[in-house]
Amino acid sequence: MTGVLSLGSNLGDREAHLRAAVDYLSRQFPVRAMSPLYETDPVTAPGARPQPAYLNAVLVVDLAGATPADLLAAAHEAEEMRGRLRGERWGPRTLDVDVVAVDALTSSDPRLTLPHPRAHERAFVLVPWSDVDPDAVVPGRGPVWSLLRSLDRSGVRRWRP
């Protein structure tokens, strides 16, 4: 099975947080591909305070006999190692690692909904995902390239430090 992870950071040394997450996750699962880094405008709740831009990337891993729950646990461990505090929804964070998809699996389990319930409407996920897998499909939603046609991509910029 193949897992797709979305990584993001907008606090502290954003690049270091993402690199540390990739390093940790690559010790748990063989990495098939990593996208380039993108700087993206934050998604915020209405009336929320302003926050810094994110760095985002997508990581595609081989589960190698592991389960989607194992992938979620590793994602949470990576976040905790970088000081992630779970407080404000859509608030700033040192590291956010979301399980976006696992093959064509679908699940409505509240602990791990597959595919990620908002992945199909987030350019900061779909743009880097299309870089590493141009034929990717969001299960139940359609091809990533097709979904991207209806999204505003102006807030997603290839990052060049």
Based on the structure, what is the number of domains in the chain? 1
pLDDT, position 124: 97
| Number of neighbours of residue 19 by Cβ within 10 angstroms | 15
**What pLDDT does 55 receive?**
98
What pLDDT is attached to residue 82? 87
Q: For position 96, which CATH number holds?
A: 3.30.70.560
CB 104 within 8 A of CB 138: no
In which domain, by residue range, is 49 found? 2-158
pTM summary value: 0.94
| pLDDT value at residue 69 | 97
Question: What pLDDT score was predicted for residue 86?
Answer: 60
How high is the mean pLDDT in each 10-residue block of the chain (161 residues)?
97 96 97 98 79 96 96 96 70 90 96 96 97 96 97 95 83
| Whole-angstrom distance, CA of residue 74 vs CA of residue 54 | 21
pLDDT at 43: 81
Q: How high is the pLDDT of residue 90?
A: 64
What is the model's pLDDT at position 85?
Answer: 63
